[in-house]
Structure 1
């Protein structure tokens, strides 16, 4: 697995790039299957619902390291199976969802480059979102490695 992290100096966006040791179809399933997503994305078991299609809704209750829980909701803005997910996340008090783009590029039959990027309204929001996305990619990498061994 390789990692690249880029926080552009001009604005409140970030881009994280990793090469995962898994084919794109397995990475896609990890992001779009409620049972798998709950295993690696810090979601409470049984809380994840996904209707993976443009305009389809999703929800999950996330669990913090100290055991706290907070619900998240949103919708899928763009979906191209095994290649692209644009996930809208509802943000209280904001008229439009925050969008996070997940791009998959299969390098060969066993490796996939994943790119996460998001633009936020403030530096603080960007830093929190980037930290959360880094944690997700770390956990996804471990999950996929465990899946490959089983």
Structure 2
């Protein structure tokens, strides 16, 4: 079973996430960048996701809304760099905390034998902003997203 490692070292303004997948790098990258696939896995179970905008190219943007019985939660960002099957650099902003933008970098490593490691790093403007994201339940949502992505990749 693949495990998600989430690290938020005390006193640092970043969060690191590492996850391995039993799928080729191209398929994992496509799941991360295809607006038809992203809603199938991104976010915790029990939430729906509506994609408003999603153009995974340098200079493109995204906006999506997660919803459940308690409300709606909108997120947006800009893709700064997208290198096919290798790298995504984007901003990430929860619209409920405007002006608290983080910079995310995801690398996609081919491990051979049809396996891929994704390494993500989210850099926040302050340790306090990072801690607020951790306190919001981000870890739970990230773990469930990675489990759901495993399920999508297996289909």
Q: Give the alignment's TM-score, normalised by structure 1.
A: 0.80
Residues 1:105 and 1:133: Cα distance change in structure 2 (over 3 Å): farther
Residue deviations 1:13-44 (CA, integer Å, cap 9, x gap):
12111111111111111111112101111374
In 1, the alpha carbon distance for the partners of 2:20 and 2:109 equals 9
Q: Which runs of 5+ in 1 are unaligned?
A: none
Residues 1:133 and 1:76: Cα distance change in structure 2 (over 3 Å): farther
| Structural mapping, 1:1-150, within 5 Å | 1-42=2-43, 44-64=48-68, 66-90=69-93, 93-94=98-99, 97-130=101-134, 131-132=137-138, 135-148=141-154, 150=155
Residues 1:79 and 1:69: Cα distance change in structure 2 (over 3 Å): same
Equivalent residues, number: 147
Residues 1:6 and 1:45: Cα distance change in structure 2 (over 3 Å): closer
Residues 1:104 and 1:46: Cα distance change in structure 2 (over 3 Å): same
Give the secondary structure class of the aligned counterpart of 2:36. helix
Residues 1:83 and 1:9: Cα distance change in structure 2 (over 3 Å): same
Q: Which runs of 5+ in 2 are unaligned?
A: none
Residues 1:147 and 1:112: Cα distance change in structure 2 (over 3 Å): closer
User: Is the Cα contact below 8 Å between 1:77 and 1:87 reproduced in 2?
Assistant: yes
Q: Give the CA deviation at 1:3.
A: 3.6
In 2, the alpha carbon distance for the partners of 1:50 and 1:117 equals 20
Q: Give the alignment's TM-score, normalised by structure 2.
A: 0.77
Residues 1:46 and 1:12: Cα distance change in structure 2 (over 3 Å): closer
Decide which structure has greater helix share: 1
The two structures, once aligned, show a CA RMSD in angstroms of 2.6
Q: Give the CA deviation at 1:132.
A: 2.1
User: Is the Cα contact below 8 Å between 2:28 and 2:153 reproduced in 1?
Assistant: no
